[in-house]
Each structure stands twice: as C-alpha cells, then as structure tokens.
Structure 1
Amino acid sequence: MIYEVSHRTTISYGVPVSQARFNIRLRPYGWPGQAIIAQKLEFGPQPDEWRDEVGPYCVNRSVIGYSGRLSELVIESRFTVDIDKRPPADDGPMLRQLRQEALGTRDLSVLSPAPYLFASRIADANSAIGDWAGDLMSSEQPIVTAASAVMNAIHRDFAYRPGATSSATPPAEAFARREGVCQDFAHVMIVALRSQGIPAAYVSGYLRTEPPPGQERLVGADAMHAWVAVWCGAQLGWIGFDPTNDCLALGNHILIAMGRDYADVSPIDGTFVGSAPQNMATAVDVIAQD
C-alpha cells in the first residue's frame, strides 16, 4: 500500500525569542517492508543553519538554527511511502532461548538488540511492572505469544485517556493509574518486556487516517502514534506491537524512528534564549492511494 503523509507543526511564541536551535525527527527511516518513494521537509522561515544527520539509533535528524529573533516556526513534512509488511512466519523462539540469543549477540549494527535490553532515561526499571509482566509470561512461551500477552493486557486493563498524562509522565505512574495514551502504553510495555530479558524499543510513526471499508478506525490516527518494536530473534528480527490498538504494526503503521524510549525519537525539541510562552499546533494526514 502506498501512502501520502503530511505533517504540519506550527510553533508560536508570546514574544520573539532568539538563538533558537531545534532537533527535528520527522524524516522517515528506511525499514524492512517500508520503502520511501519521496520526501520533503520545509521550514518557515528558512533557517540560518540546517544539517541532516543519521542517528543515534534508527533516527533521521535535521538540526536547524536561527541567529535572529523568531516569533513563529512552521515545520512541514511530506513524504510518500510504500508499505509491505507481512505477519511473522511463526511465533519465534522460546523466551529462554531468546534471552540467551540476545545476551550472546555480537551484532554492532543499528538493528542490534543490545541497546534495547536495559533501562533507559524514560523507560527505567520498575519492580511493580516487572512483577506484573512475569505473571503474564513463561520461559516456555514463544516470543510472539509472550509479547502479545503483554500487549493484550495493556489494551484490556488500561484506559486510553488523552490529557490524563503528559510527555513527562513516567511509566511507573501511568502503570499505577492504568491510564494514559499511546506513549504511556508503549513505555509500560517496554519496561515490562525488558524486565524479562526481552529487547524492546520505542517506535514513533503514523497510522492510516481512514480505515478500509468495514474496519474500525485505529486509535491515535489524528497525530503521531507510538508502539513497541520487539526483537524476536535473528530469524524474525524486529516485530511491531501496538498496545493501544491491540494489534501487530503491519500495513496500517508507518515507522518514522526507533529508539530506546521517547527521548530518542521526540519529533521536535530544542532550545532558545528568552522566557516567552509557546504554543504548538499539529495537523497530520495519512492518505492511502487505493
């Protein structure tokens, strides 16, 4: 399926700021089953400095800077992508085998499971989440079955409630409250899987805006979405699990970036000189070319 994606962000300041610097992570990363046909990133006003980089992790980053005063910044990302992701051929190795394989890997590529085995800045270790996850899985389960059990439990027991949390809410708090949004659910699932020795990564991306006839609209299709990539062994590789919608991330999911947690793939962050209040408005559209 070929998709046309448009993402427009407008950042406005109460009074002009100066020496503004931004990291923009909106250019899609190449991924198995995902071919980038065309892409364009535009800024208004045009930045005084602009460089494109890759990394760290599976991230395309654009670094821009303004030396003068800035009152409003418009960022527009448009791209065309061909998605052909298939369900896994089988349920993968048993957990006990997967743990040994992950710990024993010597892979140093960007797709190595090693960076995703341990706690990170946001997805830190939590005993309550670890104990909860341990009750859902056993060492004699295949990895796809085990990860699906955690995904199913989050979808079943947690309430999707926009506004209940913020980007600063730690996974432990979202877990204790059993509510949040896609970012919270992804972080809880990552902490849960890592507690059991399973490599798990945070994915930011998009969902198809309008579903095919007869199918329900996916939750989170109006903005950037988040799900979890689970390393399922060398044969299966990375597989996406969407706990918000209780499904595998296949033809309706478009990957932009993958990192250890949200801090690695945040769409926009930066600094400026000044103390002005700021407002951010975002519009996302994902259209399938039937």
Structure 2
Amino acid sequence: MINKTESVLARRYRIRHETSFSYDAEVSASYNEVRMTPVSNDHQIAADNRIVVRPASTSYRYRDYWGTIVHAFDTSAPHRELRVVASSLVDTRTGSGRSGEPAGWDGLKDPKIRDGYAEWLIQTSRTEPDAELRELAAEVVRGATPGEAARAASEFVHDKIDYVPGVTGVHSRIGDVWSERKGVCQDIAHLTIMLLRLAGIPARYVSGYLHPKADAEVGETVTGQSHAWVEWWDGDWTAFDPTNAIPAGERHVIVGHGREYGDVTPFKGLYSGSAGSTLEVTVQIARLF
C-alpha cells in the first residue's frame, strides 16, 4: 500500500457566482436546484459558502446521490427577475498522493471491481459513442498501464478538439463535437470519459471552477467560469483537466462528481408562465493567498 503524503495548503480563493434570469413578463412561480457549493475532501476545504436568492424563497439543502451539495428553492410570489448569488471561500491543497497501488489491466477486469465501479463504466446519453468513435477508442486508449492510457487519451482529446465557447450546447452529442473538432470544457470532458470507459477504465465527470490565471497576484479578482474535468480510477482516483492538458491541481475547485454534466448541472429549474427569459451568468474568483 502506498501511503498518502501530507497535504500542503496551497491557495485560498473567494468565488462569487451570480446567475440572473430576467423575464419579459411576470411569472407566477419557479422551482430550482443549484449545485454551486464546493465540497470538502482531501483536495480542498470549503471554509464558507452562502447562497442568496432574490426574491426571497423557501429553500433547503441536501446531498444528492452523487454526494454533491444541492440548494433547492421555490419562489411562489410573482416576479420578473430571479437572482442567485453563490459566495464561497475555499482552501485548496496539493501533494495528497495516492492511497493505493496502481491497478493493472487484469485488476480492472476483476468482476468485483467492475461491479463496484459500474456507474463509472456505463456510457450515458451524453457519452454514448458512434461507430467511428468506437473504432477510434481502440487506437487511442493504449498504454503499458491504465493510468498511462488514460493520460494519453486525455491529451489526445486536448490536441484534437479546439476549445471554442458558444459552439455547442448542454445537449450536444459527442459525435457532433468530434465531427466539428470544436467544443467547450464539458464536451472535452465527455469525449475523454467516453474513451476511458470504452477501455474499461472507470471515469467520472467533475464540475467546479478553475482559476484561469496561474500567476494572479494575491488579492486580484479575475473573471472565471464554471469548469469541467475528469477523474479516472486505476487503484485510486486521478484528476486531470483535458481542456488544458494538465493534472487538476491547486487552481481547481471541486463542486461535485457525476457520470456526466446532467448529474452536476450548476443551475436547473422551471417556471410557471409563458414569458421568455434572458440568462446572465458571471463568475469572479480572487486569490487571497
């Protein structure tokens, strides 16, 4: 057994994530779920989190099936605007190391492993490959060990898919992303996860934030956004950001894990009424030390 090395406190971040819906007519009610609360784990400590909703709403918090903290609320008063501000203070850590020996290909084929990690091996509607992608996976996912193969697949997707905001939507299929060779971080994560699962490597989607400026000054506030990356299991979970082709580190803040985007959508809801809506989202991140 490989013992974990002692974690080292690396960065402290203040994150402000604001979501606003403006309606072109009055709506009578809305029902919503927000997944914007960073978790505490070996990688990070969530020191504080507050979610403010306007207009005032009835709300409650719970952990969903995947372990993500959910802030659920409904607004029954008529309104023309809905505003949600999630504010967090998070300390990230580095140097946690592995907690287990690397699993070889034979280990990943063990029925007990496949059963225990079944939910991370099954494709979803967003990761289901077509015939071309199945053939591609056989060529791309290769390596002496599962970890090496996973790293190679992640870097392959990074090299082949251009990061272009706005070219896809949350319901895009990976076949379309591959055909266009363009997408956003969610698409790049989905494509990577698809390749890993086809190879028999358990893989999960990670939702959170990435501080976009590695050399940011202490106290500097920068514009960020929600981000997505992947984790694969080969005896322990390894986090990698295929959009940027880097291991997930102290600049990454985890909100939750899931099979794909639909399990950890930052904001989902519905409203009563026929009004159209306009969405605005801003994320600001400040490094405090």
Aligned residue number for residue 144 of structure 1: 147
Letter in 1 for 2:233: W
Which residue of 2 is the match for residue 38 of structure 1? Answer: 48
Number of residue pairs aligned between Structure 1 and Structure 2: 274
Residue 27 of structure 1 corresponds to 37
1:88–1:149: structure 2 CA closer, same or farther, 3 Å change rule?
Answer: farther
What residue in structure 1 maps to residue 266 of structure 2? 267
Separation in 2, partners of 1:231, 1:225: 20
Deviation (angstroms), 1:118: 0.3
Q: What's 2:84 paired with?
A: 75
The answer to whether structure 1 residue 243 and structure 2 residue 242 are counterparts is: yes
Per the alignment, residue 179 of structure 1 pairs with 182
1:17-41 deviation per Cα after TM superposition (whole angstroms, max 9, x unaligned): 1231001111112232211111111
Write out per-residue CA displacement over residues 43-93 of structure 1, whole angstroms, 9 at most, x where no aligned residue: 11110x211110121311111001221211111111111111337559933
Inter-partner Cα distance in structure 2 for 1:161 and 1:187: 15
User: What is residue 135 of structure 1 aligned with on the other side?
Assistant: 139
TM-score by length of 1: 0.87
The answer to whether the 8 Å contact 1:93/1:232 transfers is yes
For residues 118 and 97 of structure 2, the distance between their equivalents in structure 1, rounded to whole angstroms, comes to 22
Counterpart among 113, 118, 121 of residue 117 in structure 1:
121
Unaligned runs of 5+ in 1: 215-219
Corresponding residue of 2:27:
17
Give the CA deviation at 1:125. Answer: 4.0
The 3 A distance-change label for structure 1 pair 181 and 120 is same
Give the AA of the match of 1:82: D
CA distance in structure 2 between the aligned counterparts of 1:239 and 1:124, rounded to whole angstroms: 22
Deviation at 1:213, TM superposition (A): 6.4
- Amino acid aligned to 1:40: R
1:126 corresponds to which of 103, 114, 130: 130
Q: TM-score, normalised by structure 2?
A: 0.88
Q: Does the 8 Å contact 1:52/1:61 carry over to 2?
A: yes
Instruction: Check 1:34–1:127 CA distance in 2 against 1; reply closer, same or farther (3 A cut).
Output: farther
Shift of 1:255: 0.6
- Deviation digits for residues 210-257 of structure 1 (CA, Å, limit 9, x no counterpart): 32269xxxxx97210111111221xxx222111110011111110111
8 Å CA contact 1:58, 1:258 repeated in 2: yes
1:2 and 1:97 map into 2 onto residues whose CA distance is: 40
CA distance in 2 between partners of 1:116 and 1:160 (Å): 25
Tell me the equivalent position of 2:62: 53
Q: Work out the percentage of aligned pairs sharing the same amino acid.
A: 27
Give the 3 Å change call, closer, same or farther, for CA 24–213 of structure 1 in structure 2.
Answer: closer
- The alpha carbon displacement at 1:129 in A equals 2.1
**1:4–1:152 CA distance, 2 compared to 1 (3 A):** same
User: CA distance change for structure 1 residues 98 and 5 in 2, over 3 Å: closer, same or farther?
Assistant: farther
1:283 equivalent in structure 2: 282
Match status 1:210 vs 2:213 = yes
Contact 1:21 1:272 in 2 (8 A): yes
CA distance change for structure 1 residues 85 and 114 in 2, over 3 Å: closer, same or farther?
farther
Partners in 2 of 1:130 and 1:242 — Cα distance?
Answer: 22
For structure 2, list consecutive stretches of 5 or more residues without a partner in the other structure.
1-10
